[in-house]
C-alpha cells in the first residue's frame, strides 16, 4: 500500500512538473479537449433539465411519480362517502370536478363548453355520450343570447393538492383549508381562466351544475396548473354548501371524482375501498393506479439522451485526438528524460503512470473549466430565457452533468494518454548511453 502510494505520489509530482514545464502545450491540449468535454456537460445538463422540465409539466396535471390515484364515477353514494372519508386528511385528497359558469346568468358563455379562451366559439355545447350515442347536455344556455360569462371546470378539493400536483403560484394565494367553509366560495383560477377575467368584465355570480342557488365567488389567487382549459379550484366543503346530496349522485350532471393518495396512504385506501363497496359501489370499479411517468417515458428519454451523447462523444473524440497528438509529440521530445528516469530506477509502469497522470490532470482541469462554463452558461440562459419557460424556474446545474464532465475528462485523459504512456514505457535506457 505504501509502495503504491509512493508511486502514485511520484507520478502526480512528476506529472505536475511536466505540466508546469509545458504550459503552452497543456493549454493547447485543453483547448482541443474543452469543446468535447463541454459538449458532454451541456448534453447531460440539457437532458437532465429537459427531463425535469418535462416531468414538472406532466406532474402539474398527472401528479408526481408514485402518486396513487383512484377514479370514481358519481353514482349513488360514491361522492358523499369519499368526501366524508377524506375530509381533513393530509395523505389523500379528493377532487370533484363539475361545470360552472361565472358571470351573467342565462347567457351563452364566451367559451361555450369550457374551451380555451382564445379558441373562438369554445368547444361548443357540452356533450353527453352513452351507449345510444352522444347528445348535447341541456345546461339551460341553449338558445340563450351571448353574454359576459365564462364557463369553467370547477374542481372541489378536500385538502391541499399541491403535494401531488405542484402548481406554480402566479398571483394571490392558495386555498386555505383551515377554518369554517365560507358561503362565498373562494376560488383559485388557473392561468387560462384568469385570462378570461382579465379580458372581460364578468359579474361575480357563479352557476354550478346541480347547485341550489348561484353563490358569489371570491377569487383569491391564480396558479399555473399546466392546463389549457379554464379551471377554478375551490374547497369541497364550500362547494358542498351549494350542492345538495341528491345532485352528487347524478351521473349526468354530478361531479366526477378523483382521489390522489401518497404511496404510504395504504390505510386510508383500504378504508375508502371498504366504505365505497359497503355503499354499493361495485368492487371492480374501485381501481387504483400509480403515476409512473418516469418509467413510461424512460425509453424515449434514454433514446434521446443516447443520441445526444453520441454526438457529444464524437466531439470529445476530436478532443482526444488533439490530446493524443500533443502527447505523442511530447513523448518524442522527452525520450532522453524518460530514458534517464528509467536509468535512475523508475519502473516502466511508473513512467507510463507519469504520462497518464499528465493527461489525466489535463483532462480533469479541462473538465473543471467545462463544468464551470456550463454553470455560468446555465445561469446566463436562465437569466435571459428563464421568464419564458416557467418550468425552468429554480433550475440548478444538475450534478449529473458535473459527474459526466469529470468522467469525460478522465476518459479523454486515459484515451489520449494511453498510447503516449505505452511509448514512454518502452523507451530503452541505453538511449542515454548513446546520446
Partner 1 sequence: MTTSPLLVPPPPAAPPLIHLTGVTKTLKGQDQPRTILAGVDLTVHPGDSVAILGRSGSGKSTLLSLIGLFDRPDGGQYLLGDRDITRIPERKAAALRSAEFGFVFQRFFLLKHLTAAQNVAMALVNGQGWLPRRKRKAKVLAALERVGIAHLAKHKPPRLSGGEQQRVAIARALVREPRILLADEPTGALDTETGNLVVEVLRQATDVGCGLVLVTHDHDHAAKMGRVLHLSDGLLRPAGQRVVA
Q: 418 vs 429, which CB is nearer to partner 1?
A: 429
Q: 176 vs 333, which CB is nearer to partner 1?
A: 333
Residue 20 contacts partner 1 per CB under 8 A: yes
Binding-site member from 9, 218, 270, 426 for partner 1 (CB under 8 A): 9
Residue 2 contacts partner 1 per CB under 8 A: yes
How many residues make contact with partner 1 (CB under 8 A)?
34
Per the structure block, which three cell numbers stand in for 190? Answer: 388557473
Q: Is 235 exposed, middle or buried (0-12, 13-18, 19+ CB in 10 A)?
A: buried
Residue 121 contacts partner 1 per CB under 8 A: no
Binding-site member from 1, 5, 24, 88 for partner 1 (CB under 8 A): 5
Q: 169 vs 428, which CB is nearer to partner 1?
A: 428
- Please report how close the Cβ of residue 368 comes to partner 1 at its closest, in angstroms: 24
- Please report how close the Cβ of residue 266 comes to partner 1 at its closest, in angstroms: 59
Helix 2-21 to helix 348-385 angle (10° resolution) is 60
Q: How far is C-alpha 65 from the chain's CA centre?
A: 10
Q: For 186, phi and psi rounded to 5 degrees?
A: -80, 130
Q: For 404, phi and psi rounded to 5 degrees?
A: -60, -40
Q: 276 vs 432, which CB is nearer to partner 1?
A: 432
Q: Are 34 and 366 in contact (CB under 8 A)?
A: yes
Q: Are 218 and 173 in contact (CB under 8 A)?
A: no
Cα(435)–Cα(338) distance, rounded to whole angstroms?
Answer: 13
Q: 388 vs 434, which CB is nearer to partner 1?
A: 434
Binding-site member from 6, 136, 169, 394 for partner 1 (CB under 8 A): 6
Strands 186-190 and 231-235: antiparallel
Kindly report the number of other CB atoms within 10 A of residue 305's CB atom: 17
Q: Are 150 and 190 in contact (CB under 8 A)?
A: no
Q: Are 231 and 193 in contact (CB under 8 A)?
A: yes
- Please report how close the Cβ of residue 36 comes to partner 1 at its closest, in angstroms: 28
- Please report how close the Cβ of residue 2 comes to partner 1 at its closest, in angstroms: 7
Kindly report the number of other CB atoms within 10 A of residue 61's CB atom: 12
Residue 10 contacts partner 1 per CB under 8 A: yes
Residue 421 contacts partner 1 per CB under 8 A: no
| Contact map string, positions 330 to 369, toward partner 1, x by CB under 8 A | ------xx--xxxxxxxxxxx--x----------------
Residues that bind partner 1 (CB under 8 A): 2-3, 5-7, 9-11, 13-14, 17, 20-21, 336-337, 340-350, 353, 428-430, 432-435
Amino acid at each position: 500500500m505504501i509502495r503504491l502510494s509512493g508511486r502514485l505520489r511520484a507520478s502526480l509530482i512528476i506529472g505536475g512538473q511536466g505540466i508546469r514545464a509545458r504550459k503552452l502545450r497543456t493549454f493547447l491540449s485543453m483547448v482541443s479537449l474543452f469543446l468535447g468535454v463541454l459538449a458532454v456537460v451541456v448534453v447531460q445538463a440539457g437532458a437532465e433539465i429537459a427531463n425535469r422540465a418535462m416531468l414538472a409539466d406532466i406532474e402539474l396535471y398527472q401528479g408526481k411519480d408514485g402518486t396513487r390515484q383512484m377514479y370514481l364515477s358519481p353514482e349513488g353514494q360514491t361522492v358523499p362517502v369519499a368526501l366524508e372519508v377524506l375530509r381533513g386528511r393530509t395523505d389523500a385528497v379528493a377532487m370533484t370536478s363539475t361545470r360552472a359558469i361565472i358571470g351573467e346568468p342565462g347567457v351563452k358563455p364566451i367559451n361555450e363548453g369550457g374551451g380555451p379562451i382564445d379558441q373562438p366559439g369554445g368547444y361548443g355545447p357540452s356533450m353527453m355520450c352513452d351507449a345510444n350515442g352522444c347528445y348535447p347536455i341541456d345546461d339551460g344556455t341553449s338558445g340563450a343570447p351571448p353574454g359576459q360569462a365564462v364557463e369553467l371546470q370547477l374542481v372541489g378539493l378536500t385538502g391541499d393538492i399541491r403535494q401531488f400536483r405542484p402548481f406554480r403560484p402566479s398571483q394571490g394565494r392558495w386555498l386555505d383549508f383551515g377554518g369554517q367553509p365560507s358561503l362565498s366560495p373562494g376560488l383559485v383560477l388557473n392561468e387560462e381562466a384568469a385570462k378570461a377575467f382579465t379580458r372581460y368584465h364578468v359579474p361575480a355570480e357563479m352557476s354550478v351544475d346541480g347547485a341550489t342557488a348561484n353563490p358569489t365567488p371570491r377569487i383569491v389567487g391564480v396558479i399555473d396548473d399546466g392546463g389549457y382549459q379554464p379551471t377554478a379550484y375551490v374547497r369541497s366543503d364550500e362547494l358542498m354548501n351549494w350542492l345538495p346530496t341528491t345532485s352528487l349522485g347524478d351521473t349526468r350532471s354530478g361531479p366526477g371524482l378523483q382521489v390522489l393518495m401518497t404511496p404510504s396512504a395504504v390505510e386510508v385506501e383500504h378504508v375508502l375501498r371498504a366504505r365505497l363497496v359497503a355503499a354499493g359501489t361495485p368492487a371492480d370499479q374501485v381501481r387504483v393506479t400509480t403515476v409512473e411517468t418516469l418509467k413510461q417515458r424512460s425509453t424515449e428519454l434514454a433514446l434521446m439522451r443516447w443520441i445526444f451523447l453520441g454526438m457529444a462523444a464524437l466531439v470529445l473524440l476530436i478532443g482526444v485526438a488533439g490530446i493524443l497528438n500533443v502527447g505523442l509529440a511530447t513523448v518524442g521530445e522527452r525520450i532522453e528524460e524518460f530514458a534517464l528516469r528509467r536509468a535512475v530506477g523508475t519502473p516502466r509502469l511508473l513512467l507510463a503512470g507519469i504520462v497518464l497522470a499528465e493527461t489525466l490532470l489535463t483532462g480533469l482541469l479541462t473538465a473543471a473549466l467545462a463544468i464551470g462554463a456550463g454553470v455560468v452558461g446555465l445561469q446566463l440562459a436562465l437569466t435571459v430565457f428563464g421568464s419564458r419557460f416557467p418550468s425552468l424556474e429554480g433550475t440548478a446545474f444538475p450534478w449529473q452533468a458535473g459527474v459526466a464532465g469529470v468522467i469525460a475528462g478522465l476518459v479523454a485523459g486515459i484515451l489520449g494518454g494511453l498510447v503516449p504512456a505505452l511509448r514512454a514505457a518502452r523507451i530503452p535506457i541505453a538511449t542515454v548511453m548513446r546520446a
